Structure 1
Amino acid sequence: TRDEWDRYQVMYINADNLKGFTYLLDSQWTFKKENHAHFGGGGLLSTFEDYSHFCEMLLNRGEYKGRRILSEASIDQMTRKWVEIPESDGSNYKDLSGCYYGFACFVLQNPELDRGNSKKGMFGWAGYNNTHFWIEPEKNLYGLFMTRAREFGWDIPIALRKTVNSIVE
């Protein structure tokens, strides 16, 4: 709503001729009703608190605060192997080494290749503006890293995951 607009975080851009903070890039990147761009979130906005509730629900196999939100079968469908990720060739896939694509997430199948020192079965996703989350079922924990930056990258979230995993064994 318009009342909530002042809580909307600016985005940082560091690309070619665009550098700095902005709310708008062009007509496709606004959150107005007349926007007809089709992107992953479709204009979905969230808070850290709400996103953490989502992560907690995934960690608990579809249950949140005693209420069933997704069936366990849905979680199984999300995390089963649907598409093999190509081996690292210096492309975008290098940061997902050892993973496959489930339905709406990546899933770690070969921990020896993971730079974040996660256990087999860790799953998560990352968004265009650098929102990253991961679920570690074996360790009973999740991680959430949120920014509003257009320069997408894996280095910071992987370092965070590695640090958390070194503390929680």
Structure 2
Amino acid sequence: MTAPSLKHWLQTSALATVLSLGCAAAIAQSEASSIKRIDPSNFNITEDEISDIRSQMQAAVDGNHIAGALILVGNDDGIGMLESVGTQGPEDDTPVDAQTIFRIYSMTKPVVSVAAMSLVEDGLLSVEDPVSKYIPEFGSLEIIDNETGEITPAENTMTVEHLLTHKSGIVQGIFAGGTKLGELYSEAVNTDGSMSNAELAAAIGNLPMLFEPGTAWHYGHSTDVLGAVLEVAAGQPLDEILNERIFEPLNMDETTFYVPSEKSSRIAQPIHGAMADYTIERPQLSGGGGLNSTTEDYIRFANMLLNDGEYRGSRILDKETLDWMREERLTPEVSREYFFYGNRGGWSMGFHLQPVPGHDGSSFGWRGIGGTLFLVDQENDMFMLYMEQKRGGPRGAPFDNNIAQRVVYEAIAD
């Protein structure tokens, strides 16, 4: 049937009315705000506790640690706590709100990891695939002894799963300072966004790894390389992959690698430390830390994870895939020498597994180096977000993402 005849048939069929109403309802639902307020008692949080949390946040603003911040707790029923203090920047009188745009840095990693597993579901990728299948430079892996500088051929093959779990042996200059490998990264890998994903991955593939893939955990450029792998596997740039598989279905239309100049007035700015200007487009679409987002948008992603891969009728991942992603990957034979949290918590295929204070279960999520945090806790049927922008500055802030997580759980447990 041709397009004109199909249109005519729809217009003349009684079924057209039903379809039109259904489509309109679906569009209205997808475009509705992700913030529906419900009583905080749904999370066992009292108004006094909210007031105390807000006062601590305000103290961080008054003490010149941050310009502003936002915290929320919600679930599929709605948002039980949403508090914001301060402004979007040190020279900006605009209050922080759910439309403020934050550099979420490493909170990009779970998004890209979910996209990777979406490709796995579609048969375009396997977690068992060698990275060299997509990035040939990883075909002749070498391992460096950071104490002696000796470089030897690798015995293990690096796989996509190693990228997802940070067990690849790939590091990052900022986390390898003072070492021979750190020097090699500084010489070969540009971190200013001037390299495309493919160029950055190729440069890293030509460097030695810190350890045999699969034997230890180390934070670094693994998810940046994963982004390059996805581009080859899907035959699309990373931003198109994320738009098609996550952002458009969830209506996350303000989560982007680069911010249009007309939205620049909504970008949060730090008091301390320099942050990249993401209104200037560069070749790299960093899967490890390049996204900007709003609270309104990221709620949708967190809610989808809490709801086993689905949000308001849009399924991003099958529940079984998400369950697989959340399994512990720091098994006893994997070294935790470089793990940020020692023997506490763990790591899955894309998420930090965080122990929940006072509970047997655990939450999963991650944070950004600019001060942001999200976590999903299915046992307590909640997700939380904390948004601020800070790089450095004086120590002893009365509120930050670590304190945010602690006080929320203290309130829930009371």
Using the size of structure 2 for normalisation, the TM-score is 0.32
Please identify the structure whose Cα radius of gyration is greater: 2
CA distance in 1, matches of 2:286, 2:322: 25
In 1, are the aligned partners of 2:306 and 2:381 still within 8 Å (CA)?
yes
Q: Of Structure 1 and Structure 2, which has the larger fraction of its residues in helix?
A: 2
Instruction: Work out the number of aligned pairs and report it.
Output: 147
How far off is 1:117 after superposition? 4.0
In 1, are the aligned partners of 2:372 and 2:401 still within 8 Å (CA)?
no
* Residue identity in the other structure for 1:12: I
Deviations 1:15-74 (A, max 9, x none): xxxxxxx5x5xxxx33222354846132x1100111111111111111111321221123
Residue 6 of structure 1 is aligned with which of 259, 265, 289?
265
CA distance in 2, matches of 1:46, 1:37: 14
Partner of 1:41: 289
Partner of 1:93: 340
Residue 60 of structure 1 is aligned with which of 298, 307, 313?
307
* Residue identity in the other structure for 1:106: H
Q: Of Structure 1 and Structure 2, which has the larger fraction of its residues in strand?
A: 1
- 2:366 matched to 1:120? no
CA change 1:142–1:97 in 2 (3 A) is farther
CA distance in 1, matches of 2:360, 2:330: 20
Using the size of structure 1 for normalisation, the TM-score is 0.71
- Stretches of structure 2 lacking an aligned partner (at least 5 in a row): 1-259
Partner of 1:105: 351
How far off is 1:98 after superposition? 2.4
* Residue identity in the other structure for 2:390: A
CA distance in 2, matches of 1:117, 1:150: 31
Partner of 1:18: none
CA distance in 2, matches of 1:5, 1:71: 36
- Stretches of structure 1 lacking an aligned partner (at least 5 in a row): 15-21
How far off is 1:119 after superposition? 4.2
How far off is 1:86 after superposition? 5.9
Describe how 1:123-142 pairs up with structure 2 within 5 A.
123-142=364-383
Structure 2 counterpart SS, 1:144: strand
* Residue identity in the other structure for 2:349: F
- 2:325 matched to 1:82? no
What's the Cα RMSD here? Answer: 3.0
In 1, are the aligned partners of 2:374 and 2:384 still within 8 Å (CA)?
yes
